[in-house]
Amino acid sequence: MRVKIFFTIFLFILGFNIAFAHIDVVQPAKNQITVNSSTVYFIGNTTENADFSINSEPVKLWNNNFFVHVVPLQYGKNKIKLKSVKNGQAEEKIYIVNRKKTSSGHYTESKFIPKKENEVLYTKTIRPDATVRSKPSTHSQRLVDLPENVVLYLSGKKGDFYKIDETGSSEFWIHKSNIEEPVSLSKKIKPRLLKQKHYSDNMYDYQQFYVSHPVLYTIKQEGNRIKLVLYGVESKNEEGNSVPNYEYYFEIENPILGYDCTYEENKLIFKKARLPENIDINNPLKGLKIFIDAGHGGSDKGALGPTRVNEKDINLSIANYLIEILKQSGADVVYSRIKDTQVGLKDRVKIAKNNDILISISIHNNSLPLSANPYVHHGTEVHYYNENAKLLAEIIKNNLVNDLNLKDNGIRKSSFALTRSTNPVSVLVEVAYMLNPDEYIKLQQDSFQKNVAISVKKSLEQYMYMLLK
């Protein structure tokens, strides 16, 4: 009998919770977490017009149902109580947040182990995107992605990275997973430049370099020219003296559009996009090949808003409006997705690079780490990585700020998959912040999404006018 009474009470409480008050906490995702920061934010939603509090402090419900609240933390264990009351019925949730004492981080850095004196350490790249970096760390600058079968000589090892034995304006490091197990040789096989060839088609100018075997190269825009260096290919400088590397400069009239360098066996092919001929000044997007990428998709949801609206869906709506109005202007639009499908980052880059596309735009909206304040961080920012995309990034950012009345967070040089390519001209737009309440509400409005698309399209037209000058 007693058991039955308890069971009835249990069902009664359960029933009330479902019917009267609920709390859906979106972040933090777990109710026991450890952090390193002085605050954490809580975002989520509750029953409409409920009295909602966190640690007995009343919390504003945006749109009458969602909350975004920053909670200060003491060192050690913090018990955080979320409470929602509606029609006299309450639901509570308890979160335990452990704030760590900041440790000084004692990690031992591995030592550089040089190769033996007189030893020649030979290896070859074994991956189609073997990244060469400026330091022995995956956080360091990417200098170039080499294809398979590029011959490299090494001067030593630090941790999991090998140092490449070449002289240049930077050091060159490569992770061991990108290369064959190095072997000792008695002698370096010196690469030679055999011949060069220039040709053009209706989109690009090409310069081919035939080398005796594929070598490390770098390519970099320096103002109005692009500098290509073939390492280890001995040549003569202007004074007739022998220098260790071969340097080639592509002098280009401003502005520099997309350019790229790829190996086809032992031919290194440089190509540079030309401004399309016959651009209609009254309709400058007509016939232009533009890639529109809606960020995330499928099981990759991107940032999650307080009412569980996904960034991937907002990105998609904006991208689809943009695709539609660009097509109306006669642009030849290529896209990564127009539905909620999963597309890998590498596949997105591949589509952008392999379809003779002039401009690539990736659409995203920003998230924030738990330690940040979603009321402080808001606004728009446009990311670029290469100099040739800076002007476009600036134009898009300025128009978004003015047309949509967003805070100006500037343009940012960021190494992302969708900004790293030099061809096409590539930018990534973070329209606004998913976790800022005002912007989260706006981002879900059709009119706002459409106006973002109109603003980006206007930016593309202005960019083309500037190229035509």
Sites of contact with Zn ion (CB under 5 A) = 295, 302, 364
Given the complex with Zn ion, which of 230 and 323 has the nearer CB atom?
A: 323
Given the complex with Zn ion, which of 302 and 424 has the nearer CB atom?
A: 302
| 24 vs 43: CA distance, rounded Å | 9
| 415 vs 424: CA distance, rounded Å | 15
Q: Supply the minimum distance, in Å, between the C-beta of residue 393 and Zn ion.
A: 17
Given the complex with Zn ion, which of 360 and 388 has the nearer CB atom?
A: 360
Q: Looking at the DSSP assignment, which residues form a beta bridge with residue 151?
A: 124
Q: Supply the minimum distance, in Å, between the C-beta of residue 402 and Zn ion.
A: 23
Q: Which of 148, 159, 154, 188 is nearest to 171 (CA)?
A: 154
Q: Supply the minimum distance, in Å, between the C-beta of residue 367 and Zn ion.
A: 7
Q: Is 33 exposed, middle or buried (0-12, 13-18, 19+ CB in 10 A)?
A: middle
Q: Supply the minimum distance, in Å, between the C-beta of residue 303 and Zn ion.
A: 6
Given the complex with Zn ion, which of 28 and 302 has the nearer CB atom?
A: 302
Contacts of 124 (CB under 8 A, 6+ apart): 148, 149, 150, 151, 152, 179, 180
| 366 vs 369: CA distance, rounded Å | 10
Q: Supply the minimum distance, in Å, between the C-beta of residue 302 and Zn ion.
A: 4
Given the complex with Zn ion, which of 126 and 345 has the nearer CB atom?
A: 345
What 3-state DSSP class applies to 343? coil
Q: Which residue has the tokens 């030593």?
A: 156
Q: Supply the minimum distance, in Å, between the C-beta of residue 311 and Zn ion.
A: 5
Structure tokens at 373: 């304040």
Radius of gyration over alpha carbons of the chain, in Å? 28
* Torsion-angle region of 156 (φ positive above 0: left; ψ -120 to 50: alpha; else: beta): left
Q: Supply the minimum distance, in Å, between the C-beta of residue 296 and Zn ion.
A: 6
For Zn ion, the nearest residue by Cβ is 364
Given the complex with Zn ion, which of 91 and 293 has the nearer CB atom?
A: 293
Given the complex with Zn ion, which of 226 and 434 has the nearer CB atom?
A: 434
Q: Supply the minimum distance, in Å, between the C-beta of residue 36 and Zn ion.
A: 23
Q: Is 29 exposed, middle or buried (0-12, 13-18, 19+ CB in 10 A)?
A: exposed
Given the complex with Zn ion, which of 257 and 292 has the nearer CB atom?
A: 292
- Answer for the pair 126, 180: CB distance below 8 angstroms, yes or no: yes
